Each structure stands twice: as C-alpha cells, then as structure tokens.
Structure 1
Amino acid sequence: MLGNLLFKLVRSSDGLRERLWKLAYETFPKVLPDTDWWFMNYGYEPTDAERYELGTLDEQQFQWRSRAMYHYLAARAKVAGKDVLEVGSGRGGGLRHVAETMHPASATGLDFAASAIAFCHKNHAGTPARYLEGNSMDMPFGPDSFDIVLNVESCHAYRDQALFIREVARVLRPGGKLHLVDVRATWNWDLLYQWLTEAGMELIEDVDISSNVVTAIERDEPTKKALIKKRVPFWLRGMFTEFAGNVGSQLYERLKNGEIQYRRIVAQRPA
C-alpha cells in the first residue's frame, strides 16, 4: 500500500514530484551520513562482454554495482581529456569515480540538494571532482562549456524536463554528447525523445538495460536489506525500501514485468 502511494505521488504533477524528490534528497543524506554511502542509483550488473571491453571493477567493494552504473556509462563516453558535467550528482561517488579513473580535463557535479553538496564537499575534498549547488533547468554555466553531460537516474524528477534538455544543449559544445540512464514508462520515454528533437539533439544510441538493473537489485538485496535494517530508523524503513528499489518494491515489480523501462541513451548536439 505504501509502495503504491509513493509510486503514484512521485509520478504525479510536475511541481509535487519535484518537491517530493527534493525532500527525499535533502532528508536521506541527513538520515544516512555514512561517509562510504556514495551512490543512490539502483545498480548495474555488467555483462562479461562489457567487463572485457570496458574494464572491470573491484567487485568486493561496497556498492560496486552502483559504481558500475557510472563506470559502464562513462567508459562509453571516452571522457579522457574532456570537460565533463554531471547534472544530479547526488552523493558524488559516481563523478569521483569518473574523475579519478578516467582522467577527464575537468569534472563538475551540479545538484539541487544543499545537503548532498555539503556531503560531497566533506567527503570528496581533495579529489579532481568539484561540486556545485544549482538548478538543472537554469545551469550556472555559459554556452558551449562542456564536452560531455552525464545524467544518472535523475531527470525524471525535474519539474520541467524539456527545459533541462534545452539547457543541456546550450551548455554542450558542438558535437558534445549527453549520456543518460533513467527509468520511465514507455510513453514517458517517447516524451523524452520528443524533447531531445525539439532541442536540436540527435539520438544516436538507445538501449534497454532493464535486465541489468533487475539483476543488480536482486543480487544486492541481502546486503542492501541488512544495511537498511542496521542504519535506517525503524519508522523510515518502509519508505526507504521503496526509495531504494529493493526486491518487492513497486519500482522493482514494475521494472521486472516491463511496465517501466530502464534505458541508456546517448544524444549529440550537432557539430
């Protein structure tokens, strides 16, 4: 019942959805101040072919499947020597991984949650990544500032996603690319494709990775369940279980039965 209610609320009106997500992203870093909890995505189980082509991670590392979501997205972007922006950088672990292992010229994270940015400044100080508080629909950057924009499981929560896409097109240099992963219903993906076209962006890659995410959720379930029991207050566990997409949550069930899809897309600003 709680899962159905939360699922409907976060997919309701644009303004309410944005306020609810902002509340969640402001609250959870305070509830979970753990310095090693760097990621908030659902995780990604790479294929053997991806491990061979794009490299492997330390699979004993805490939250390695959530790290893998970033690794196998950014490795495809070939970010070395490029200026990279992540919009919706959250707790900062993904951008830090990209900055430390893939050697971009610069790595900038932008997030609307002040508590998330404070967490990043405290826990990622001294790394090549920098983190700024700001609005995805009114980015504090000039035109033609970046070669690559990353967006991981984030833009579904924005009040005006079409405006976000236009902002991406503005801050990208000619030939620059948006690398995005997100979870949506089919009709909502169709809207995103429309907004990309209207912003003058060309969709050059579109892959359904739902099975990789479902597998990651299932394989991470014992660890995630134990951590929630250990670290999350009792009164917040049901809500956090839904937010985290655990096995049995509405998100997990809808993703597994195909009602919603988790996709990886690449869109390019024309050169």
Structure 2
Amino acid sequence: MSSRLFSRVLDVAALGKFPRTQKWVWRRIYNMLSRFWGDSDWRFMNYGFVPTGAPFPLKPEDEAERAFIGLYHQALDGLQVEGARVLEIGSGRGGGSRYIARYYAPSAVTGLDYSPETVRRAQKLNADTAALTFTQGDAENLPFADAAFDIVVNIESSHCYGDVPAFAREVARVLKPGGWFTFADMRPKNQLAALDQQLGAPGLELVDKRNISQNVVAALNAAEARKQARIGKIPLLRRFMSEFSGSKGSMLYKGLSGGGVVYQARRYRKAG
C-alpha cells in the first residue's frame, strides 16, 4: 500500500498536472528546511549511492558523507572534468558542487537552485571552496548563455519540476557541442517510458542508462543511524522528516526496495 501511495504522489508531480502549485510547494519546503537546519556538517540532501565494487577514494574529513557523495562520484566517473565548466542544476546545500570543485579540478563550478534560502545556505556552508559559486534560478528557464558549460549535473532534483521537457531543452541549450549531461533521479516504474520522452530533447543523445535502486537502498541503510539521530532532535517534524529522508519503513524506502519506484542514472551527450 505504501509503495502504491508513493507512486501516486509521484504520478501527479511528474505529469505536471499542477505545475505552478508543485513548484511553489517544493520551493517552500526547501526554504523551510534551510531555515530550520543550519548545521555546518549537513551539505547533502540526496539519498546516496553505495557502489557494488571497491570504494572510491575520499579525504578523511569527507568520510562521514561517503554515502551521499557516492551519487556524484558515479555521475562523473570516467568523464573529463579537469578544466571543464560545470553546472549543477538543483544544487541544494552545495555539498555535491563542493565535492566536484575539490576533487576534479574543473575550471569553475556553478550551483543553481530554485530556493533562495537554500542558495544562501549553500553560499555560507561552502564559502571556503575556490572556483565555486551559487545562484538562484529556475531549471526550466536557465539564466545562462548558449553553450556556456561542458558538463551539466542533475542529481535527485527533476521530480520537483513542473515541466521536465522544458528543463531538458534548457540543458541542451547551455551545453556546448560534445558536452555531457549526467542525470540521476527516481520515478515510479510505470513512468520510465515517459521519462525517456521528457529527457529526449533535440541534440541530446542517450549514451548510458542504469537502474541504481539497490545501490541507493544500500546508501539509505548506511545513513540510517546518523539520520535518525538528527531527526530525533525535532520530534514535532519526526514523521515528515522520516518520509522526506527515505528512512527505513517510509513509503520511498519500501518503493525502492520493492521495485515500485526505480532510481535511474543516465548520461546524455550533446551532438556536435
């Protein structure tokens, strides 16, 4: 029952039946979270990824965030990032953009988020990182010039959008010819075919598509104790945060574990 209910919620969101309301609600949720949680050690808001093979290298100070960083490592693994201009759309509190800037030697990383409070939080949390900037903006109407970036990253954000095809067209527009778009997000299993069409913007060629649901579940398990310790400090929001964060027993956790919800990683390359 929980998996079906979660699927129905995502059905409404992904189909964009109420796009203005949907974007308004998500923006306010993230504004609220940014106001309530000013913790300096909370830079990530994704569900994470644990690879099936050997662990990737991390500096000791980043080990606590390994499960969450994993989604970014898999997104960029094998790409030529050194010297590249990178845009992260839906950058949240900035942990992913910070990881890219610190580990991959890009020429510049820009993090864009729809929530102004979240952008302010990201700027504060990551002020010590060179070649990294954050700006407020709409994924469906990006405030950048054509061909401004070599790589566009979008992690666990697109399910909040009112118009995913418009987002994909904007990605294609701001990518330079030959540039890469690396994407990871979840959808109900019955919406995967629709996602193919939504992300299939002219000029974007699908190069790789993987189901990483079990890797995400492994990350949720790995982060459960730390997550519960933090949620336990806010009893009035415990139920909401347990569902929102994908804790064990939540609708999302059951959906991913049972296969009703699929978490996909994709890579597209711009023609030319």
Same fold (TM over 0.5): yes
Q: What residue in structure 2 maps to residue 24 of structure 1?
A: 29
Q: What residue in structure 1 maps to residue 42 of structure 2?
A: 37
Cα deviation, residue 105, structure 1: 1.1
Matched residue type, 2:36: V
Distance 2:180 2:75 in 1: 12
Matched residue type, 2:236: W
Q: SS at the partner of 2:210?
A: strand
CA deviations on 1:13-45 (whole Å, 9 max, x unpaired) are 342332222121111111111011000000111
Alignment of 1:251-266 (within 5 A): 251-266=252-267
Distance 2:214 2:51 in 1: 10
Distance 2:80 2:174 in 1: 19
Q: What residue in structure 1 maps to residue 135 of structure 2?
A: 132
Contact 2:3-2:255 within 8 A present in 1 as well:
no
Distance 1:58 1:245 in 2: 27
Matched residue type, 1:41: N
Distance 1:6 1:238, change over 3 A: farther
Give the CA RMSD over aligned residues: 2.1
Matched residue type, 1:39: F
Alignment of 1:97-176 (within 5 A): 97-127=99-129, 128-176=131-179
Contact 1:2-1:239 within 8 A present in 2 as well:
no
> Which consecutive unaligned segments of at least 5 residues does structure 1 have?
none
Distance 1:253 1:5, change over 3 A: closer
Q: SS at the partner of 1:192?
A: helix
Cα deviation, residue 67, structure 1: 1.5
Q: What residue in structure 2 maps to residue 195 of structure 1?
A: 198
Cα deviation, residue 197, structure 1: 2.8
Distance 1:130 1:198 in 2: 27
Distance 1:80 1:116 in 2: 27
Distance 1:2 1:190, change over 3 A: closer
Contact 1:144-1:174 within 8 A present in 2 as well:
yes
Distance 2:28 2:5 in 1: 16
Asked if residue 215 in structure 1 is aligned to residue 218 in structure 2, the reply is yes
Give the % identical residues. 36
Matched residue type, 2:38: P
Distance 1:184 1:133 in 2: 25
Cα deviation, residue 89, structure 1: 0.3
Distance 2:211 2:10 in 1: 22
Q: SS at the partner of 2:218?
A: helix
Runs of 4+ with deviation above 4 angstroms: 1-11
Q: Which has the higher contact order (CA 8 A, sep 6+)?
A: 2
